[in-house]
Amino acid sequence: MESVVRSQSSVGPDTAAPKDATLIYRQSRWTRLTHWLWAISLFFMLLSGLQIFNARPQLYIGKESGFAYNNTIFAIGAENTANGPRGYTEIFGKRFDTTGVLGWSGPAGRETSRAFPSWATIPSYYDLGTARVVHFFFAWILTTTLVVWLVASLINGHLRRDLAPRIDDLRRLPRDIADHARLKFHHRREYNTLQKMAYGGVMFVLLPLMIITGLAMSPSMNAVLPFLNDLLGGRQTARTIHFIVMLLLVAFFIIHIVMIFAAGPINELRSIITGWYRTDPPAAHGSKTPQRSA
């Protein structure tokens, strides 16, 4: 998420620089393109992935699963009760009634047994083949774009300059946490410590782990990378890790959206759509140079 500050003389013909010194050209075209490619890819991967999960709505730890094993840690299903069919979600043996959302859902009188409801899956009807095509198509878009972004960011210094935490960042961490808890935001040029940690965690931990576990679950990759399953503790464990990473990415997305609205949605969205971003006045942060906030 690289940004640049452009002066009147350095702005291109298609981006006329305003007279307001607090307005900076923050996001390059490449940054905006990759951001939206990742957002679209993760959206389709999530909904198609839930459809794939519906084919076997249980998670296990270990290399194998089945009736002879007792390694289920998560399950979504439906059961007949005295009050009729009910949906449930089971986590480490603890069962919760989730009728209407998970396990048993659908229009009144036409409910069916399915882990995730039709409105949360692509396609909305059960079609495992189509879901796999959609999932893998956007997975390759995500992977390719991520690799190109990593190489480019290493070459142009974006990783070292904007994302690598420094000693001063760690010293400011308690204050950053307190400011975010009070919804007090400083619109500066530099990322704050929490932003660096969050973006770094997604880009260098969650997304690579999502890709690696996805490869481990693919039978066609067993011949290419036979050690991958053993490294992750087995295909079923890899599937469980894949699911957990998905939940963490969804949590990141929700927090990301909340922070956008809290920090000023017009300014934040303008930045990621047009590249222009309004910073705090110089007096607000004791500097004559416009600063950046993510």
The answer to whether residues 162 and 1 touch, using CB atoms and an 8 Å cutoff, is yes
Listed ranges 59-63, 87-91, 105-109, 158-162; the one with the highest mean pLDDT: 87-91
- The 8-class DSSP code of residue 119 comes to G
What span, in angstroms and rounded, lies between the C-alpha atoms of 153 and 168? 22
- For the cut 60, the answer to whether the pLDDT of residue 286 exceeds it is no
pTM (predicted TM-score): 0.81
The 10s digit of each residue's pLDDT in 212-249 is 999 988 877 877 888 888 888 888 899 999 999 999 99
Domain assignment present for residue 248? The answer is yes
Domain assignment present for residue 237? The answer is yes
Do 269 and 163 share a structural domain? yes
Do 265 and 198 share a structural domain? yes
Do 173 and 68 share a structural domain? no
Domain assignment present for residue 128? The answer is no
Domain assignment present for residue 9? The answer is no
Last residue of a domain, one of 86, 115, 144: 115
What span, in angstroms and rounded, lies between the C-alpha atoms of 100 and 159? 45
Do 173 and 107 share a structural domain? no
State the residue range of the domain holding 222: 23-28+157-285
Q: Is the peptide bond before 123 cis (omega within 30 degrees of 0)?
A: yes
Do 281 and 163 share a structural domain? yes
Question: Which amino acid makes up residue 273?
Answer: I
Residue 82 is encoded by which pair of tokens? 């005295």
Do 218 and 98 share a structural domain? no
Domains of the chain: total: 2
Q: Give phi and psi for 113, each to the nearest 5.
A: -85, 110
